Amino acid sequence: MAPWRFPFAVDLKIESSEPRDASQSERTFLSFLRFSVSLIFTSLAIVERFRLNTSGKNDHFRPGTHFSVPVSFTLLGLAVFALSVSAFNYFVTVNRYAQHKIQTHGVYNAATVVCMTCIMVGMIALCTLLIIESYMNEV
């Protein structure tokens, strides 16, 4: 072994699409990480009542919504849930590739799809709730 190499390096013979699939799994995890971070920043913006002043008024009083804290904690929970599901999916996939037991379909992948669908339905419900609340405040 050459002295400049890492002592635990593993040389793999590329006989299939495993490196491409492993890179795809890593990209998927990183995209869900970016999604989770954007949800966390959105929840922080809701708690801090951040808004763009486009009304042209110089009012310093900004009334908060009744749902700002529950919505922000819900978004924070969805972010943690999405991050944990994607991290679990990534580590299981990498472990399968290391054991050469690649599974592209099955109950596990369906469970991941169901979890992410629940996150999206929760976000749609939150958006609908906020739209209804803003409409009720105007009336």
Least Cα distance to 129 among 72, 53, 81 occurs for 72
Contact 123, 78 (CB under 8 A): yes
Least Cα distance to 74 among 109, 46, 112, 108 occurs for 46
User: Which value, in Å, is the radius of gyration of the alpha carbons in the chain?
Assistant: 22
From the number of C-beta atoms within 10 Å of its C-beta (0-12, 13-18, 19+), residue 86 rates as buried
Please give the pLDDT value at position 50. Answer: 66
Compute the distance between CA of residue 45 and CA of residue 55 in angstroms, rounded to an integer. Answer: 19
Please give the pLDDT value at position 92. Answer: 83
Which segments in the chain show pLDDT lower than 50?
A: none
Please give the pLDDT value at position 37. Answer: 93
